Chains A and B, each alone.
Chain A
Amino acid sequence: MKYSISNWIYGGEPLRETFERLKRYSYDGVELMGEPRLYRVAEVRGLCREFGLQVLSIAGIYPWPTEERDLANPDPQVRERAVKYLRECVDFAVDVGAPLIIVIPSAVAKTSPVGHFESEDEWVAAAKREWNYALESVKTAAAYAEQEGILLAVEPINRYETFLINNVDQGLRFVSEVGSRAVKLHLDTFHMNIEEKDPAEAIRKAGELLVNVHIADSNRQAVGYGHTDFEAIMRVLKEIGYERALALEPLPPVPDPYIAARLKRYQHLRDLYAEECIARLRQYEKEV
């Protein structure tokens, strides 16, 4: 198993500090926020060499309500911009040597299809249309990713962050409907705690399609601060032969994750959480 941390949880922290922390606690690599314009490729590569770390994944960022990166949007121009963004992420992944990009097929925090609906039926119909738009967008992006040898990992996220793909069943159906060898699945223990009947079983279902995992405990804090059964999760990851990254996303105890990531008064927790997460997961890994 490889261990990494997704650097969006560190707000605007300079990359060097993040790399120093990862090195100090023996991580294997980093997941970089999918903001290609924020980084200089030469700097990232230099830091990787200096600290002996790899960029193991790119976390695509799909904010809402801006209409820049919504792959499911009914407006074709919006979708075109979103696909263009994914292509930029693919180029960035190639440049920094990352094998994959996380794709959330409808913008994050968009909890309803676009539009105003008079009835529940209309809402459901609109959700179906957006599913198809998202499919079309991801297919287009996947054709490019295939050429470049980069994977797109579709991430189901919980109901409060999207209306479109919340659980592993929906994620697998989406991946199968896209039907590209570059499109795989990503899972997240925090979201699974809300959406899955049995998170370990969800991982088993994903099987060899699983190419990236986000880890936070049930309350989105560090491993050990909630009630997620990490032992069961590590056991099933071993069973399916998962050898890719566990990308940690432990957040301080603040309700809004994007605010949590920036709060100065919690910055002292960054080292502690980084240390606790890898120590506890390695222990489970050893036991199973």
Chain B
Amino acid sequence: MKYSISNWIYADEPLHATFQRLQKYGYDGLELVGEPQKYGPEEVNQLCREFDLQVFSVLGWSIWPLERDLAHPDPQKRQKALNYATECVDLAVAVGASLVVVIPASAGRTSPIGQPDSEKAWKEAVAREWGYAVESVWKAATYAEQKGVLLAIEPINRYESFLVNSTAQGLRFVQEVNSPVVRLHLDTFHMNIEERDPAGAIREAGSLLVNMHVSDSQRGPVGHGHTDFAAIMKALKEIGYQGALTMEPLPPEPNALLAVRIEGYEPLRDAYAEECITRLRAYEKAVG
């Protein structure tokens, strides 16, 4: 298994410090937050050589209300989101990452646009936005296919999106887009809320699963919650998972975006990076 950390959890930390930490604790690589203007590929590639690490994935950063919403009913806004997705694909190519994580409607948007008030209107609006998102991802996929990059659809929990919350919905979405480069991403924190059986969800995803986010049930490091990582590692082995385990351990503060910016928690970064990889490696070993 390959071990990685998603660098959005380090907020504005200079990349050099992140690479140092990853190397120190034996990680294989990282996930780079999808901010193409922020990173010079030359610097990233230089750091990869210096620390012998890889960029495994680019995390599409489509936090509402940024204009990066692939499901938005306004065609101009969808076009902007599509442009952003292609920029992420370009970034992936430039830094040698094999995939971009895609959330089909902005994270943090828990209702269709217009907040329809009747049951019927809500249902119709969700269906329309689902259709827009499928179309947007299909367009992004035609570009990604040319560039040899995968798009990994991430279901996120009900409090962060109204559109794709579960593995079953994610698989249906992937199937409807129907492109060879569109696959699935799963996240242990979100699965704890949405899946009847998180390990079962991984089996359902099977060979379509190309990237994983890992944090414990309360979004802290592995071992701080009650997620059954033994069962998860076993399921990953069963499906022959070849992707990365991308850690996202957060400090104990309810708001994720704030948690990563509180200075008082910075000393936890090393400890969490170490705990996550140590514990998961032990589970990996235990399942053989």
Question: Hey, which bits of chain A sit against chain B, CB under 8 A?
Answer: 111-112, 120, 123-124, 158-163, 166, 193-199, 218-219, 225-227, 255-256, 259, 262-265
Query: Which residues of chain B have C-beta atoms less than 8 A from A193's C-beta?
Result: 192-193, 217, 226
Residue in B161, B162, B193 whose beta carbon sits within 8 Å of that of A219 in the complex: B193
Residue in B160, B161, B196, B218 whose beta carbon sits within 8 Å of that of A196 in the complex: B218
> In the assembled complex, how far is the CB of residue A105 from the closest CB belonging to chain B, in whole angstroms?
14
Q: Within 8 Å of chain A (Cβ to Cβ): is B270?
A: no
Give the top 4 A-B pairs by smallest Cβ distance, nearest first.
Answer: A159-B254, A160-B159, A255-B158, A120-B262
Q: Within 8 Å of chain A (Cβ to Cβ): is B119?
A: yes
- Which residues of B from 182 to 204 have beta carbons under 8 Å from A? 192-198
1/0 contact string of B225-265 vs chain A (CB within 8 Å): 11000000000000000000000000000110010011100
Query: Which residues of chain B have C-beta atoms less than 8 A from A199's C-beta?
Result: 226
Query: Which residues of chain B have C-beta atoms less than 8 A from A256's C-beta?
Result: 110-111, 158, 162
Q: Could you tell me if B254 and A166 are in contact, using CB atoms closer than 8 angstroms? A: yes
| Cα–Cα, bound, A180→B206 (Å) | 54
The size of the chain B interface, using a CB distance under 8 A, is 29
Q: Could you tell me if B255 and A196 are in contact, using CB atoms closer than 8 angstroms? A: no
Query: Which residues of chain A have C-beta atoms less than 8 A from B225's C-beta?
Result: 197
Query: Which residues of chain B have C-beta atoms less than 8 A from A159's C-beta?
Result: 254-255
> In the assembled complex, how far is the CB of residue A45 from the closest CB belonging to chain B, in whole angstroms?
33
The main secondary structure of chain A at its interface with chain B is: loop
Q: Within 8 Å of chain A (Cβ to Cβ): is B139?
A: no
Question: Hey, which bits of chain B sit against chain A, CB under 8 A?
Answer: 110-111, 119, 122, 157-162, 165, 192-198, 217-218, 224-226, 254-255, 258, 261-263
CB pairs A–B below 8 angstroms (9 shown): A111-B254, A159-B254, A193-B193, A194-B218, A197-B217, A227-B195, A255-B165, A259-B119, A263-B119
Residue in A161, A225, A263 whose beta carbon sits within 8 Å of that of B196 in the complex: A225
Query: Which residues of chain A have C-beta atoms less than 8 A from B196's C-beta?
Result: 218-219, 225-227
- Given contact pairs A160-B157, A163-B255, A196-B226, a sample of 11 additional A-B residue pairs in the complex whose CB atoms are under 8 Å apart: A120-B261, A120-B262, A124-B262, A158-B159, A193-B192, A193-B217, A197-B217, A218-B193, A227-B192, A255-B158, A255-B159
> In the assembled complex, how far is the CB of residue A110 from the closest CB belonging to chain B, in whole angstroms?
11
| Cα–Cα, bound, A219→B258 (Å) | 25
Query: Which residues of chain B have C-beta atoms less than 8 A from A265's C-beta?
Result: 119
Residue in B110, B161, B193, B261 whose beta carbon sits within 8 Å of that of A194 in the complex: B193
